[in-house]
Chain A
């Protein structure tokens, strides 16, 4: 499965391994391995079916098709697809979880007012 091509989409292929802090101002598609932290405050992260992310994630949106281990702070929404294996706490405004997805962790749905108050 290939990522949708977009001018503002950075891709990490399945043979790529990255350890450290990742930050940016464009959407990111990870089909390889990332360990550390990912910060895309105004943009979205997609973990592809071959992706394995062991990192805290801060993003506007998150789509998981592969494996993610770490806490997630998503200002807009989180989509866990049926092949997702997620271990970590998720804090977001909206979440959708397909049948078959695996989640071990807390889900905290925050309203806009809560986020604005910094709760």
Chain B
């Protein structure tokens, strides 16, 4: 319990700004209590098989957690997918943006009202600005009415260098957080293309305030905030 508390305070603090993480640091997993997850767990404790969409990095732990409970899990790493070079385009003002239509033609392609639960994690904070609203719109459409989405948002106190984590569900309201490794080594993405952006790691793109978050999820039926001491707000929305 002491280690949980200790780890709790470490989360979402700014990094040193280094572009290469030490291997030991990268491999370290921090434990965190999640009130939002605890609320969601009521859904997957039921005997009804659920359809769960995990939008974080592929997590063997999450796959094991949900399949052991007879739920179906879909894994789709949208942050990695957003680094596909062919998405880069220009808007009318000549600014470099990502083509959201093309992105949604390749990703989140599911029937309407397909999922009971979407684990969005910290995706909105790290996703390119041009993709955030289109992605949230698509997530609304693939969630079942009454389906739930869990997302994490940094507060401004977190700092611009807050590291990007992947999340592993290890208990009813317990998450393991693993810092996404920043390395110079390029990695193949879903189309086999080499992602240069990955080599620089994912940077916090923005900080949403409560009003922004409410606007982002305005099409959803309800929204619930869970405040934590680690410069992060958990948000549970219901379609």
Contacts and interface: CB of A to CB of B under 8 A. Distances in A.
Q: Do A and B bind each other?
A: yes
Interface of A: 52, 67, 85, 87, 95-99, 101-109
A30 to B, nearest CB: 15
B58 A106 contact: no
A45 to B, nearest CB: 19
Nearest to B181: A100
**A-B CB proximity, top 3 nearest:** A97-B60, A109-B67, A103-B58
Which of B77, B189, B192 has the largest number of chain A CB atoms within 10 A? Answer: B192
Given A99-B60, A102-B190, A107-B73, 20 more contacts: A52-B192, A67-B188, A67-B192, A85-B188, A85-B192, A95-B67, A96-B60, A97-B60, A98-B60, A102-B58, A103-B58, A104-B76, A104-B77, A104-B81, A104-B190, A106-B72, A106-B74, A107-B67, A108-B72, A109-B67
A12 B48 CA distance: 44
B168 to A, nearest CB: 10
Interface size class on chain B is 10 to 19
A39 to B, nearest CB: 24
Contacts of A96: 60
B188 A101 contact: no
B75 interface: yes
B80 interface: yes
A87 B74 CA distance: 11
A103 B192 contact: no
Contacts of B76: 104-105
A26 B75 CA distance: 31
Given A67-B188, A96-B60, A97-B60, A104 B75 contact: yes
A66 to B, nearest CB: 10
9 contacts: A52-B192, A85-B188, A97-B60, A98-B60, A102-B58, A102-B188, A102-B189, A103-B75, A109-B67
Interface in B49-96: 58, 60, 63, 67, 70, 72-77, 80-81
Contacts of A107: 63, 67, 72-75
Contacts of A97: 58, 60, 63
A107 B81 CA distance: 19
Contacts of B60: 96-99, 101
A109 B73 CA distance: 10
Contacts of B192: 52, 67, 85
Given A96-B60, A98-B60, A107-B63, A85 B190 contact: yes
A105 B109 CA distance: 10
Contacts of A106: 72-74
Interface in B154-195: 188-190, 192
A19 to B, nearest CB: 18
A88 B119 CA distance: 19
